[in-house]
């Protein structure tokens, strides 16, 4: 039986701290923490398996606050349950520079925060990955060491966002029964009542996607507890729609959008505390409420110790593999495997598309890197991501390393965030480069929070041909390069593709896009080289015959083109060198001397990339010659398109000659 009086006082501690935090910061969102305090109190005091003394304990339940604007809810919980990194002084510094309490939760700032949320829907999307990784890791290492749940607190906004549909459909399909959504069903958003813009019956929507769904009174702790009990026993993921009042307790603003996103104001705050029977000053929590909250924070200690004994009893080899995987440390064998592959490629000289080269690399890499989990948003045969050795994840069956995400690019990228943040796996997901548009919000979260996901993005230019301009990316390379901490590789042949895969895997602090061609390319790296030449972002691929008059830069499929232009120029008596640029932004981040050495001192700088010029001026200057796209593509065979848009060796050589002769 729940002691209602104690429950209320504990929930009111969350409400009071949240009101005070927002009031002191003069900005923030008090409504959600006040409304969802009962839900959070039931979850954290009775169900959530966690130990405040060990925020990173691998078998903890994950709690994801998808409605990140309600961050004071989470910070209050971390403080009350005794996380060392969340003293009261941090609540008092809510939203201030270098505090542990930024406006929206950031997992790389605050221990106990599982993921960065704020863009509505991202937590919901990532939670599918958390829950999936849990089951996959349990299938590999056993329920003895991996046996936890993923709880999500989500809001109306989370469920209105389109990504929620992708997420719930995938979770329902896969029967991720350890995923439990607590929906703060308050019927209010910023513009006012939800009825302004939404009339979805959420439980029925979830049921249609294969979930268990119930409605409860979100201020009745017994009802919330009973619903969670039932959800824990379900063989499906569960939605618990908790009817709540936003800003619960605030005399005038409760139940209105005025409680959503601004300080209550002195008078309203006073009135709320009086209504809640909370007779304490700002940030004051009496000891008789602190004590049971601290107890909740240590409640999981025994479970953690039990887990540690079970873990210690596992074979040493299994333990070291588990630790390696959680630490994102690559296995020893990868470097040697890539070196061997490169030797073979230099000998065989395959003239293949880089998507095919990627598959060839993956045949080797998937053997060497057991944590690599591949998948595609329903373009597997085009993305070439499924190698022979990869079994498929299926509903309720989690032994495997290939995920059919369905036609859900955004859901895929979000789930990949969750898979990585859960720990134990390195996800690589695929679609066409053009559809990074559909995945970008989650890719940005990956870049922002240092998640090393790998995006295998094929069909990377007009070179895809007949599908036409709707499918031909032109601005996407520039747009992706503009995301801080995103690394974009566009390899030129099979050797570079292997090197870029290695670099993507070696990254532990941010995501990588591999932009790959549909069309076949001639090999450009013809000699064996033990070093990874792509690591510096650009390198001299073909020196000039004599003092260079021009340097020709290119990425990916256009490297072949500039090599040909180099030959044409040579025939015309102009010495040119060729620099391959697999990663423009990585190259631009090199120290100045290294950059200068590669750029060289030839008077003419030219670049070719079948995309917009945006970004290349940093390398060739505003007066440099650029051969690429200035608008959208067209539907025609690839070879004709390159000619039509003037992206040819002849056009480049001519432009350089004109400049040379002027
Ligand atoms: C993708 C995205 N769009 C818009 C916003 C701005 N925003 C923050 S909260 C919110 C809606 C608030 O409604 P709800 O989700 O019901 O939260 P509550 O009012 O219950 O706190 C919006 C539009 C956002 N954070 N993310």
Question: CA 177, CA 231: separation in Å to the nearest integer?
Answer: 8
Helix ranges (H only) for 175-298 are 202-208, 221-233, 266-276, 287-298
Interval 294-315 mean pLDDT: 97
Q: For 449-502, give the DSSP string.
A: TT---EEEEE--SGGG-TT-TTT--SSHHHHHHTSTT-EEE--SSHHHHHHHHH
**Ligand 1 nearest-atom number relative to CA 156:** 16
Q: Please name which of 343, 414, 393 lies closest in space to residue 115, comparing C-alpha atoms.
A: 414
| pLDDT tens-digit series, residues 140-154 | 999 999 999 999 999
Question: CA 296, CA 323: separation in Å to the nearest integer?
Answer: 28
Question: Per-residue pLDDT for 548 more than 80?
Answer: yes
| Strand duo 426-432 + 402-404: pairing | unpaired
pLDDT at residue 528 in the model: 84
pLDDT at residue 581 in the model: 98
**Ligand 1 nearest-atom number relative to CA 246:** 20
Please give the mean pLDDT across all residues of the chain.
98
* Ligand 1 contacts CB of residue 555 (under 6 A): no
| pLDDT tens-digit series, residues 580-609 | 999 999 999 999 999 999 999 999 999 999
Question: CA 601, CA 587: separation in Å to the nearest integer?
Answer: 17
Q: Can you give the pTM of this predicted structure?
A: 0.98
The angle formed by the CA atoms of residues 553, 556 and 562, to the nearest 5 degrees, is: 40
- The mean-pLDDT minimum among 338-347, 469-478, 521-530 falls in 521-530
For the chain, the distance separating the N- and C-terminal CA atoms, rounded to the nearest angstrom, is 89
Q: Is residue 552 a contact partner of residue 607, using CB atoms and an 8 Å limit?
A: yes
pLDDT at residue 240 in the model: 99
| pLDDT tens-digit series, residues 378-419 | 999 999 999 999 999 999 999 999 999 999 999 999 999 999
**In the β-sheet with 62-65, what is the strand arrangement from edge to edge?**
62-65, 150-155, 179-185, 238-243, 212-217
Tokens 């747009």 belong to 479
* Ligand 1 contacts CB of residue 120 (under 6 A): yes
* Ligand 1 contacts CB of residue 153 (under 6 A): no
Looking at residue 401, the DSSP 8-state letter turns out to be: S
pLDDT at residue 332 in the model: 93
Pocket test for ligand 1, best of 28, 29, 116, 157 (most atoms within 8 A of CB): 157
Interval 263-286 mean pLDDT: 98
Tokens 């906004």 belong to 157
**Ligand 1 nearest-atom number relative to CA 32:** 21
pLDDT at residue 328 in the model: 95
Question: Per-residue pLDDT for 265 more than 90?
Answer: yes
* Ligand 1 contacts CB of residue 172 (under 6 A): no
- At 133, phi and psi to the nearest 5? -60, -35
Question: Per-residue pLDDT for 203 more than 80?
Answer: yes
Strand partners, 428: 374, 454
Q: Please name which of 580, 556, 549 lies closest in space to residue 457, comparing C-alpha atoms.
A: 556
Confidence of residue 1 (pLDDT cuts 50, 70, 90): confident
**Ligand 1 nearest-atom number relative to CA 155:** 15
Question: CA 48, CA 45: separation in Å to the nearest integer?
Answer: 7
Please enumerate in sequence order all residues whose Cβ is within 8 A of that of 656, keeping only pairs 6 or more positions apart, or say none: 550, 552, 565, 569, 574, 576, 604, 606, 625
Q: For 507-556, give the DSSP string.
A: --SS-EEEE--SS-------S--SS-GGGGS-EEEE--SSS-SEEEEE-T
Interval 237-252 mean pLDDT: 98
Three-class DSSP category at 403: strand
- At 604, phi and psi to the nearest 5? -110, 125
Residue 409 is among the residues annotated as catalytic for this protein: yes
Q: Which two tokens stand for residue 239?
A: 């939605």
Cα 602–chain centre separation: 41
Using CA positions, which residue lies closest to atom 13 of ligand 1?
189
Question: Per-residue pLDDT for 610 more than 80?
Answer: yes
Tally the C-alpha atoms within 13 A of residue 232's C-alpha that lie toward its C-beta: 15
Share of residues in the chain with pLDDT > 70 (%): 100
User: Of residues 90, 161, 268, 409, which has the active-site annotation?
Assistant: 409
Rg value, the chain, Cα: 28
Using CA positions, which residue lies closest to atom 9 of ligand 1?
69
pLDDT at residue 430 in the model: 98
Q: Is residue 625 a contact partner of residue 646, using CB atoms and an 8 Å limit?
A: no
Q: Please name which of 79, 94, 158 lies closest in space to residue 125, comparing C-alpha atoms.
A: 158
- How far apart are the CA of 59 and the centre of ligand 1, in A? 31
Question: Per-residue pLDDT for 651 more than 90?
Answer: yes
Q: Please name which of 517, 594, 182 lies closest in space to residue 357, comparing C-alpha atoms.
A: 517
Question: CA 267, CA 270: separation in Å to the nearest integer?
Answer: 5
- How far apart are the CA of 310 and the centre of ligand 1, in A? 42
- How far apart are the CA of 545 and the centre of ligand 1, in A? 61
Confidence of residue 310 (pLDDT cuts 50, 70, 90): very high
* Ligand 1 contacts CB of residue 185 (under 6 A): no
pLDDT at residue 40 in the model: 98
pLDDT at residue 434 in the model: 98
Please enumerate in sequence order all residues whose Cβ is within 8 A of that of 448, keeping only pairs 6 or more positions apart, or say none: 116, 484, 485
**For residue 326, with 0-12 CB atoms within 10 Å meaning exposed, 13-18 middle and 19 or more buried, which class applies?**
middle
pLDDT at residue 652 in the model: 98
Confidence of residue 48 (pLDDT cuts 50, 70, 90): very high
């Amino acid at each position: 039986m729940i002691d209602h009086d104690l429950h209320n006082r504990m929930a009111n501690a969350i409400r009071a701290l949240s009101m005070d935090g927002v009031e002191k910061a003069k900005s923030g969102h008090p409504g959600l923490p006040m409304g969802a305090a009962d839900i959070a109190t039931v979850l954290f005091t009775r169900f959530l398996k966690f130990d405040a003394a060990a925020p990173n304990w691998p078998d903890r339940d994950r709690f994801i606050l998808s409605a990140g604007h309600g961050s004071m809810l989470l910070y209050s919980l971390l403080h009350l349950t005794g996380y060392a990194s969340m003293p009261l002084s941090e609540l008092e510094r809510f939203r201030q520079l270098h505090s542990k309490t930024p406006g929206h939760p950031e997992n790389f700032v605050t221990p106990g925060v599982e993921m960065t949320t704020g863009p509505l829907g991202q937590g919901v999307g990532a939670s599918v990955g958390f829950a999936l990784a849990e089951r996959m890791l349990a299938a590999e290492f056993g329920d003895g060491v991996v046996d936890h749940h993923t709880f999500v607190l989500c809001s109306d906004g989370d469920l209105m966002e389109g990504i929620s549909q992708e997420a719930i459909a995938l979770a329902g399909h896969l029967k991720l029964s350890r995923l439990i959504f607590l929906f703060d069903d308050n019927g209010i958003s910023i513009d006012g009542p939800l009825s302004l813009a939404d009339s979805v019956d959420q439980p029925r929507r979830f049921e249609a996607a294969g979930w268990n769904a119930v409605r409860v009174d979100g201020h009745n702790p017994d009802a919330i507890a009973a619903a969670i009990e039932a959800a824990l026993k379900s063989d499906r993921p569960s939605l618990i729609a908790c009817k709540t009042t936003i800003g619960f307790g605030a005399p005038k603003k409760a139940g209105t959008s005025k409680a959503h996103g601004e300080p209550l104001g002195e008078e309203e705050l006073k009135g709320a505390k009086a209504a809640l029977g909370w007779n304490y000053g700002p940030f004051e929590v009496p000891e008789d409420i602190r004590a049971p909250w601290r107890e909740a924070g240590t409640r999981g200690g025994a479970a953690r110790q039990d887990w540690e004994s079970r873990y210690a009893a596992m074979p040493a080899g299994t333990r070291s593999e588990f630790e390696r995987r959680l630490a994102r440390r690559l296995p020893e064998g990868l470097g040697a495997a890539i070196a061997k592959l490169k030797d073979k490629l230099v000998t065989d000289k395959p003239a293949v598309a880089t998507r095919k080269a990627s598959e060839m690399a993956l045949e080797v890499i998937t053997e060497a890197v057991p944590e690599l989990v591949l998948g595609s948003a329903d373009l597997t045969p085009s993305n070439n991501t499924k190698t022979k050795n990869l079994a498929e994840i299926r509903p309720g069956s989690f032994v495997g390393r290939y995920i059919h995400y369905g036609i859900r690019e955004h859901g895929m990228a979000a789930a990949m965030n969750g898979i990585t943040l859960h720990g134990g796996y390195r996800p690589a997901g695929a679609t066409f480069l053009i559809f990074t548009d559909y995945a970008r919000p989650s890719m940005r979260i990956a870049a922002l929070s240092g998640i090393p996901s790998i995006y295998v993005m094929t069909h990377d230019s007009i070179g895809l041909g007949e599908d036409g301009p709707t499918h031909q990316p032109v601005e996407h390379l520039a747009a992706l390069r503009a995301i801080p901490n995103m690394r974009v590789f566009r390899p030129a042949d099979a050797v570079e593709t292997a090197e870029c895969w290695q670099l993507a895997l070696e990254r532990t602090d941010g995501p990588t896009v591999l932009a790959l061609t549909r069309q076949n390319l001639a090999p450009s790296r013809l000699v064996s080289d033990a070093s990874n030449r792509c690591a510096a972002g650009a390198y001299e691929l073909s020196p000039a015959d004599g003092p260079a008059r021009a340097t020709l830069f290119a990425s990916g499929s256009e490297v072949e083109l500039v090599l040909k232009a180099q030959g044409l120029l040579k025939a015309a008596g102009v010495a040119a060198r060729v620099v391959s640029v697999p990663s423009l932004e990585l190259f631009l981040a090199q120290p100045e001397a290294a950059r200068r050495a590669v750029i060289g001192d030839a008077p003419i700088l030219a670049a070719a990339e079948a995309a917009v010029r945006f970004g290349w001026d940093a390398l060739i200057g505003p007066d440099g010659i650029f051969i690429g796209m200035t608008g959208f593509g067209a539907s025609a065979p690839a070879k004709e398109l390159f000619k039509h848009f003037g992206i040819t060796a002849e056009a480049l050589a001519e432009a350089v000659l004109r400049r040379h002769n002027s």
